[in-house]
Amino acid sequence: MGVTFTANTLLRSEIPGLKLLSRGKVRDVYDLNERLLIVATDRISAFDCVLPTPIPGKGALLNALSAFWFRKTGDVVPNHLITTDFAEILRALPPDVRLDPELYDRRLLLARKARRVDAECIVRGCLAGSGWKEYCEKGTLCGERLPQGLQEASPLPRPVFTPSTKAASGHDENISRERLSELAGADIAREIERLSLMLYDFASRHAQERGLILADTKFEFGFINDRLCVIDEMLTPDSSRFWDQSAFKPGASPANFDKQFVRDWLDQSAWDKRPPAPELPPAVVDGTARRYREAFRRLTR
């Protein structure tokens, strides 16, 4: 793919001398007062559960792809990125902190700390996942009626903002735009919807020129110096569905470059979707890594 990512897999970071703020499903976050050190590990989650098997190279790939998008969209919507440069990050850390480049090079992002808006800002351009499920059950998406007769993976008449709660642990819950207004405040809700739709529009055009459909994606926002900024990650195969445009047909399972491959394997396994999740077989690990690399290759070329 033209970029080689670190050969050493990392499931869990340990950085003596830094204060661990949280371990998310994929990222370990360290507190540097005004800033955060975000470590993208090779963990993968599905059905709200972190799997025991790492996807080698995934953390570095997500980090590079997020940084690519942060740089590309930063003049339209501000974001939390300071740098992903290893040497520069080392210089920003207390002098006694040691980081093995074999493990940490390419998976670090130095960010401005934000006051997070506790919502997942999802935009859907096609009907998939929980959006498809709601449509099948009620004929609606995020509470709003859709045309009849849509199929799984059908493009929507226009992209729709479908927020969900950001649960501290466990299941995120889809909520209406009205509920988001109550939770976040009407002005903030309106603004994160506007920014999310704008970013989706920009990214889906970019993807389309490279043979990919951005079926849906999720953003997170936070306030940095009273300005709304994109935080966390952006437009990666973890947070988005990327489909191959060439063979696309509504109603049929689209060829994907994202996590669907893992979900499909888990669906046909005997797992009951309660922790602990089973180990992934090598073929599923390789197939996932290959899909993520293909998304990266196409989007950044």
Ligand X SMILES: Nc1ncnc2c1ncn2[C@@H]1O[C@H](COP(=O)(O)OP(=O)(O)O)[C@@H](O)[C@H]1O
232 touches Mg ion (CB under 5 A): yes
CB of 28 to Mg ion, least distance (A): 12
Q: With respect to Mg ion, which residue has the nearer C-beta, 28 or 134?
A: 28
> Which one of ligand X, Mg ion, none is in contact with 114 (Cβ closer than 5 to 8 A by kind)?
ligand X
Q: With respect to ligand X, which residue has the nearer C-beta, 170 or 282?
A: 170
CB of 177 to ligand X, least distance (A): 21
Cβ(161)–Cβ(193) under 8 Å?
yes
Q: With respect to ligand X, which residue has the nearer C-beta, 29 or 122?
A: 29
Q: Is 162 exposed, middle or buried (0-12, 13-18, 19+ CB in 10 A)?
A: buried
CB of 219 to Mg ion, least distance (A): 10
Q: Select from 10-18, 181-189, 229-237, 254-262 the region that touches Mg ion (CB under 5 A).
A: 229-237
Rounded Cα distance between 210 and 127, Å, is 21
CB of 100 to ligand X, least distance (A): 21
Closest CA to 27 of 16, 15, 39: 39
Cβ(222)–Cβ(115) under 8 Å?
yes
- β pairing state of 227-231 and 119-126: unpaired
| Helix (H) or strand (E) segment spanning residue 227 | strand 227-231
List of residues 6+ apart from 118 with CB closer than 8 A: 165, 166, 183, 184
Q: Select from 14-22, 98-106, 177-185, 226-234 the region that touches Mg ion (CB under 5 A).
A: 226-234
Ramachandran quadrant class, 186 (left: phi over 0; alpha: psi -120 to 50; beta: rest): alpha
Cβ(230)–Cβ(70) under 8 Å?
yes
Q: With respect to Mg ion, which residue has the nearer C-beta, 152 or 232?
A: 232
Q: With respect to Mg ion, which residue has the nearer C-beta, 166 or 177?
A: 166
> Which one of ligand X, Mg ion, none is in contact with 116 (Cβ closer than 5 to 8 A by kind)?
ligand X
What x-and-dash track marks residues 178-217 binding Mg ion by CB under 5 A? ----------------------------------------
List of residues 6+ apart from 70 with CB closer than 8 A: 79, 80, 81, 230, 234
CB of 190 to ligand X, least distance (A): 21
Q: With respect to Mg ion, which residue has the nearer C-beta, 135 or 219?
A: 219
Q: Select from 71-79, 93-101, 230-238, 270-278 the region that touches Mg ion (CB under 5 A).
A: 230-238
Rounded Cα distance between 247 and 176, Å, is 33
Rounded Cα distance between 183 and 142, Å, is 16
Q: With respect to ligand X, which residue has the nearer C-beta, 48 or 244?
A: 48
> Which one of ligand X, Mg ion, none is in contact with 113 (Cβ closer than 5 to 8 A by kind)?
ligand X
At residue 222, the 3 state secondary structure works out as strand
Q: Which single residue brings its beta carbon nearest to Mg ion?
A: 232
276 preceded by a cis bond (ω within 30 of 0): yes
Binding site for ligand X (CB under 6 A): 22, 24-27, 29, 36, 80, 111-114, 116, 220, 222, 231-232
Give contact residues for Mg ion (rule: CB under 5 A).
232
